[in-house]
């Protein structure tokens, strides 16, 4: 807010200002004050959309660039060839692993654009902060993003900034809300206008409900109202009811949610990947599976392909890439690349088609829309049963 020139105003001046204000309010804003058309990936009414208003439902794969930079070019091309519309790319702020430079970030964005996928860029050094002594804070992650801002400028249509991976473990996670708000504020203050993604605490799984219970206030703290929430679903989500309840808590309250990581098994329990993928499809929620290749330390089962070889898919890879509700079946290329966009199409449980993006409304709240001269079901609405 600008400082006023004077604290005094004459009565006549006040009256004139009131009349002028009434005229302006009736006539609408002048050309000089009109808002610019929104650009880039953004949140609209609880959905993730592109600049043209089309729904963008992420169907993607994680790739560990920070640890395997020499594998990135081929991996991005191979992931895109599966039909994925998104790649979540692991970067490092330099606090734990080798820093991903601004030049490198610019190259990564260019490679994503070349193979027509949306880049979700994430800082991995924050993983398990508060519990893992080697992890760094969201504030340090914000330092990193501000430091590579030049590589992000003008890429709002193609890039989502995932501030920090799994930014709190199971210790001190009560600080997640304030730390997340502060990081968002710093990025916005630095002129980073991209859609932001924030991971849940508790190693991403939010078993405490911290992100779920505070998501509305975090979104409201973003001056752009352009923050997407990311839940990681592993052993905590081993039943269909747990998956549905968590995702519905966001969708039903018009809060944007993405499953930023999940697998078909894990050391902390057996996630219900079928429920994760089916519920995401039903609700029009994005998901990004972990991960393309290169896992170690006893979790090699999370590789989708063996040895970064796209011709050697694993059981997990076949499931997520080619199975029911998988990437090949439900992914749509972003409209910025000339794709059809939409919310993945498909049929609701009641047999009617789901409404595609931007073409329907639900003014009476009954869950039904109208497109292409026929009724359609609004995802997550009252008729989606």
User: b or e along 185-207 (b: 16 or more beta carbons within 10 Å of the residue's beta carbon)?
Assistant: ebbbeeebbbbbbbbbbbbbbbb
DSSP structural state of residue 148: T
* Catalytic entry in 261, 273, 300, 371: 261
Active site residue 371: no
Helix crossing, 210-221 with 176-189: angle to 10°? 30
Q: What's the rounded Cα separation, in Å, for the pair 53 and 123? A: 28
In 3-state terms, what secondary structure has residue 199? strand
Q: What's the rounded Cα separation, in Å, for the pair 152 and 226? A: 16
Tokens 């790649």 belong to: 87
| 22 Cβ contact partners less than 8 Å away, ≥ 6 residues apart | none
Give the residue ranges of DSSP H helices in the chain: 11-27, 72-81, 102-114, 138-147, 149-152, 176-189, 210-221, 240-251, 273-283, 315-322, 327-330
Q: Are 126 and 166 in contact (CB under 8 A)?
A: yes
Q: What's the rounded Cα separation, in Å, for the pair 58 and 229? A: 13
The two tokens of residue 313 are 């898919």
Helix crossing, 273-283 with 240-251: angle to 10°? 30
Q: What's the rounded Cα separation, in Å, for the pair 315 and 326? A: 13
Catalytic machinery residues: 166, 261
């Amino acid at each position: 807010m600008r400082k006023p020139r004077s604290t005094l105003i004459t009565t006549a001046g006040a009256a004139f200002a009131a009349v002028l204000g009434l005229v302006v309010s009736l006539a609408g804003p002048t050309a000089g004050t009109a808002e610019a058309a929104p650009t880039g990936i953004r949140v609209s009414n609880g959905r993730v959309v592109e600049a043209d208003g089309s729904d963008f439902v992420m169907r993607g794969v994680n790739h560990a660039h920070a640890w395997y930079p020499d594998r990135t070019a081929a991996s991005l091309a191979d992931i895109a060839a599966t039909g994925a519309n998104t790649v979540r790319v692991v970067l490092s702020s330099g606090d734990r692993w080798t820093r991903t430079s601004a030049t490198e970030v610019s190259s990564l964005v260019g490679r994503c654009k070349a193979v027509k996928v949306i880049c979700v860029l994430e800082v991995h050094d924050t993983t398990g902060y508060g519990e893992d002594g080697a992890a760094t804070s969201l504030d340090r992650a914000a330092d990193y993003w501000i430091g590579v801002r030049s590589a992000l400028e003008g890429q709002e249509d193609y890039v989502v900034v995932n501030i920090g991976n799994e930014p709190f473990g199971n210790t001190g996670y009560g600080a997640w809300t304030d730390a997340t708000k502060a990081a968002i504020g710093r990025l916005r203050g630095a002129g980073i206008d991209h859609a932001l993604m924030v991971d849940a605490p508790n190693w991403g799984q939010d078993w405490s409900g911290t992100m779920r219970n505070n998501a509305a206030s975090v979104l409201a703290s973003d001056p752009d109202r352009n923050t997407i929430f990311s839940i990681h679903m592993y052993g905590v989500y081993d039943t269909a009811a747990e998956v549905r309840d968590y995702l519905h808590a966001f969708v039903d309250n018009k809060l944007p949610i993405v499953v930023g990581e999940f697998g078909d098994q894990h050391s902390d329990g057996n996630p219900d990947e079928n429920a994760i993928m089916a519920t995401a499809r039903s609700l029009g929620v994005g998901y990004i599976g972990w991960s393309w290749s290169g896992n170690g330390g006893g979790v090699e089962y999370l590789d989708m392909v063996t040895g970064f070889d796209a011709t050697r898919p694993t059981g997990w890879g076949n499931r997520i890439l080619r199975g029911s509700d998988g990437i090949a079946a439900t992914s749509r290329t972003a409209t910025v690349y000339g794709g059809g966009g939409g919310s993945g199409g498909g049929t609701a449980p009641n047999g009617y088609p789901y409404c595609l993006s931007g073409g329907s409304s639900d003014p009476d709240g009954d869950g039904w829309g109208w497109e292409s001269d026929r009724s359609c079901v609004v995802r997550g609405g009252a008729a989606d049963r």
